């Protein structure tokens, strides 16, 4: 156990539940000061609040909320951009304002927060930024395409970040979960009498079942701990049931094969 002054400080966005909470739990029991965020700290059930974690408010869709966190948070050694939302709906029917809203929380807010914390990491020539994407960034889940698009944006952003800031001692890591058993809300967007209704709901139900049978978020907590202990972490970590194999196939198999498998899995 480190003494308080030697402990590194980790900021985890979206630590009220799911993967963010699991990461906070894994790090809190170790050698880190953990700061976790939520849009509504008062609404976090008592049992879900982790003793020792400092909770601060953050809404990634509101610029002032991000700027306030950047001002209030103090010294951060490790930033874990975890917070995010998901949606379900056909490309033709998801309202543009809802697509923009998801880009705000999953991509633009993440960029804004990262920009704001980079100067302190650059000045001390030390830092680690872990961005939680999704395997959907490489192969979008049917009728959840825009989610995959935001996550592909985060992966590209992470590559650009690594190109630019490694020289200042700042490391960049991407964790791409496949399916993890959380209660991530999935707002559904379907127009009245939609020709996509049956197929969208079928894909959603299959996805819900897959999530319910997926590994516990604690596996992501353990992975983050391993990355933090590693001197030279890799850039990309897929995680989930058969995550390595699925990533290999999605990355290397012909598009025709992946499309066929995706349709077989969800339709």
Any idea which residues carry the catalytic annotation?
147
- The yes or no reply on residue 68 touching ligand NAP (CB under 6 A) is no
Binding mask 31-60 for ligand NAP (x = CB under 6 A): -------xxx-----------------xxx
- The yes or no reply on residue 179 touching ligand NAP (CB under 6 A) is yes
Would you say 185 or 254 has its CB closer to ligand NAP? Answer: 185
Do residues 131 and 158 lie in contact, with contact meaning Cβ atoms separated by under 8 Å? yes
Look at residues 178, 237, 176, 175 and name the one whose alpha carbon lies nearest to residue 211: 178
**Whole-angstrom distance, CA of residue 78 vs CA of residue 29:** 16
- The yes or no reply on residue 177 touching ligand NAP (CB under 6 A) is yes
- The yes or no reply on residue 99 touching ligand NAP (CB under 6 A) is no
88-96, 122-130, 166-174, 177-185 -> range binding ligand NAP (CB under 6 A): 177-185
- The yes or no reply on residue 221 touching ligand NAP (CB under 6 A) is no
Would you say 124 or 265 has its CB closer to ligand NAP? Answer: 265
47-55, 121-129, 183-191, 259-267 -> range binding ligand NAP (CB under 6 A): 183-191
CB atoms closer than 10 angstroms to residue 223: 19
Look at residues 75, 160, 162 and name the one whose alpha carbon lies nearest to residue 119: 75
DSSP secondary structure letters along 199-237: HHHHHHHHHHHHHHTSPPTHHHHHHHHHHHH-SS--SEE
Cα dihedral 207/108/64/52 (nearest 10): 50
Q: Which residues bind to ligand NAP, rule: CB under 6 A?
A: 13-20, 38-40, 58-61, 82-85, 105, 132, 134, 177, 179-180, 182-185, 211
């Amino acid at each position: 156990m480190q003494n308080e002054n030697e402990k590194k400080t980790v900021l985890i966005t979206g630590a009220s539940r799911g993967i963010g909470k699991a990461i906070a739990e894994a790090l809190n029991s170790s050698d880190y000061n953990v700061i976790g965020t939520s849009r509504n700290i008062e609404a976090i059930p008592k049992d879900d609040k982790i003793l020792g974690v400092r909770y601060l408010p953050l809404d990634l869709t509101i610029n002032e909320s991000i700027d306030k966190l950047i001002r209030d948070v103090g010294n951060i050694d490790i930033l874990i951009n975890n917070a995010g939302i998901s949606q379900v709906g056909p490309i033709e029917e998801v309202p543009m304002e809802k697509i923009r809203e998801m880009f705000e929380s999953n991509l633009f807010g993440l960029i804004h927060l990262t920009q704001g914390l980079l100067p302190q990491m650059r000045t001390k020539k030390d830092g680690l930024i872990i961005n939680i994407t999704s395997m959907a960034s490489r192969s979008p889940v049917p009728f959840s395409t825009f989610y995959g698009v935001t996550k592909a944006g985060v992966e590209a952003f992470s590559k650009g970040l690594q190109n630019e800031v490694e020289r200042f001692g700042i490391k960049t890591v991407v964790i791409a979960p496949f399916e993890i058993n959380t209660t991530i809300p999935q707002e559904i967007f379907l127009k009245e009498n939609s020709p996509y209704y049956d197929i969208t709901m079928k894909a959603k139900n299959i996805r819900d079942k897959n999530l319910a049978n997926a590994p516990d978020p604690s596996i992501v907590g353990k992975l983050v701990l391993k990355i933090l202990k590693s001197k030279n972490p890799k850039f990309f970590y897929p995680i989930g049931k058969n995550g390595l194999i699925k990533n290999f196939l999605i990355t290397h198999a012909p598009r025709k094969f992946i499309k066929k498998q995706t349709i077989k899995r969800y339709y």
